[in-house]
Structure 1
C-alpha cells in the first residue's frame, strides 16, 4: 500500500498583518485511504467558499487557509480528517502565535472534523455546513464554545436530521450553538449566495471584526428547539 501523503495548507495572506485566521475544510467520504482528487467537487466547493469570504472580508487582517487532507476518508476510529485539522491548527499556531483567533469552516466530512475540533486552543467559532454528524458523535468538548450549523432541508447525502439531533445534544452539553436550515441539498450550489453569506458573517464575528449578525445572535440565545431549526432569512446579502 502506498503511504499517504502529508496534509497540506493553501495559504492566502491578508494585505495587512493577520489579526485572525479562518481555516476551511472540505468534504470527503466514509472510507478511503486514497488522497483527495485534485478536481474533487468537495474541494472545489470549499475553495469557492474560501474565495468568497476572503473577497468579502477585504483588507481587515484575515489570513485564510484551505486544508488538503492526507486521505479522502474519515476511516472510522482513525478519524483522519480530524487528525489533519488538529495538525493544521498546530501549523497555524506556530505561524501566528497563540493569541490570534481561529474560525473553523467545514462542509460535510469537513463539518464533522471542525466540530470535533471546536474545543481546541485558539478556536473562536465553528461554522459547519451540511455536517456529517452520525449518532453518538461527541459533543462534550463544545461546552462554552460557539458553533453555527447550516443544513439543506432536502439533503439526500447527509440527512438534515443528523445535524438536528447533534445540535440538541450539543446544546444540552453546554455548547453555544445555532442551527439554520435552507431549501436545497448537499452541494451548496442552490442558493450559494446564502451559504457563502452566512459563512462570511460567522467568520467576521468569530474573528472579532464585526458583531454577530442579528439572526445568528437570536438563534444562539433561543432555547432548544427554537434556536436549532431556524429557516435562514434569504433576504440577507
Structure 2
C-alpha cells in the first residue's frame, strides 16, 4: 500500500476571475458554472504536468463554452488534480472535485453547476454529482467500470457521449451505467458518437458542440434566435444502445 498522503494546501479549483471570458462579474448575474475534469490513469501518484495532454485536451471544450452565446454568462473553470491516478478506493480525483465544488460556492456563491468530464474525469464527476449545487454531468468517453455507484445521481441529468470504437474505455459499460442510473432516478441521455474514439480528435467539432449544447440544456439556458445547435434531445424510457444516436444537425 502506498504511503502517499493527500497534499496539504492543494488548490483544486481553477476558476478565472469572474468576468474573464464571460459576461459575469464577481458571480453576480452569472447563469451558472461549468467545471471541466480531464482524464488520467488508473494508478499514479505523479502530479499532472503543465503539458499534460489529458488536461490540454479539455481546453477546446472551455473555448467552445466561452464562445457560445448561450453560455456567455456561465463561468468556466477546471478541477486541478493533486495526482494523475484514480488509485483504487482512494478515488483521488473525486476528492479533488469535492474540494473544487466547495471552492465554487466560496468564490461565487450558490450557483448551479455542470460537471464536464472526460474518461477518468467523467468518473470523478459522476461520483460527486450528489453535491447540492450540481445539476448534472456531461460525460465524454467516460470510465464507468461495472459496479460503479449510481445512487448519487438521483434527480440529476447525465449526458454521456461515447464512440463505440473507443479502445480505452468501454461504450458498452457506459450504456449499462446509464440504464442503472436511470433506474436510480437520474435523467439520462446516451449519444453514440460517429468518430473520435477515446481522444476525441476526429470530429472534434461535434464533440465540442454537443458538450456545449448539453451543458446549456442542463442549465436550462435560453437559445438565442439563429443559434445553430447539435442538441440531441432527450429520450424517454430506458436507454437502449440500439436506439442511441449522435445528432449531426
Normalising by structure 2, report the TM-score.
0.85
CA deviation after TM superposition for structure 1 residue 37, in Å: 2.2
Q: Distance in 1 between matches of 2:147 and 2:218?
A: 27
Unaligned 5+ residue runs, structure 2? 224-228
Q: Which residue matches 2:178?
A: 167
Normalising by structure 1, report the TM-score.
0.89
Q: Distance in 1 between matches of 2:77 and 2:114?
A: 10
Q: Which residue matches 2:246?
A: 232
Structure 1 residues 193 and 77: CA distance shift in structure 2, 3 A: same
Q: Do the aligned residues in 2 keep the contact of 1:23 with 1:104 (CA within 8 Å)?
A: yes
1:151 aligns with 2:172: no
Structure 1 residues 177 and 83: CA distance shift in structure 2, 3 A: same
Structure 1 residues 69 and 228: CA distance shift in structure 2, 3 A: farther
Q: Distance in 1 between matches of 2:147 and 2:220?
A: 32
Q: Which residue matches 1:131?
A: 142
Unaligned 5+ residue runs, structure 1? none
User: Where in structure 2 are the equivalents of 1:34-49 lying within 5 Å?
Assistant: 34-49=46-61
2:89 pairs with one of 47, 57, 77: 77
Q: Do the aligned residues in 2 keep the contact of 1:25 with 1:111 (CA within 8 Å)?
A: yes
User: Where in structure 2 are the equivalents of 1:1-237 lying within 5 Å?
Assistant: 6-12=10-16, 13=18, 14-17=22-25, 18-57=30-69, 60-98=72-110, 100-184=111-195, 185-210=197-222, 216-219=232-235, 222-226=236-240, 229-234=243-248, 236=249
Q: Distance in 2 between matches of 1:68 and 1:203?
A: 20
Q: Distance in 2 between matches of 1:23 and 1:63?
A: 8
Secondary structure in 2 matching 1:154? coil
Give the structure with the larger helix fraction: 1
Q: Do the aligned residues in 2 keep the contact of 1:107 with 1:129 (CA within 8 Å)?
A: yes
Q: Do the aligned residues in 2 keep the contact of 1:67 with 1:85 (CA within 8 Å)?
A: yes
Secondary structure in 2 matching 1:218? coil
Residues 126-176 of structure 1, C-alpha deviations (whole Å, 9 max, x = no match): 100000011100001111211100001100000211101111111111211
Q: Distance in 2 between matches of 1:59 and 1:192?
A: 19
CA deviation after TM superposition for structure 1 residue 61, in Å: 1.6
CA deviation after TM superposition for structure 1 residue 19, in Å: 2.6
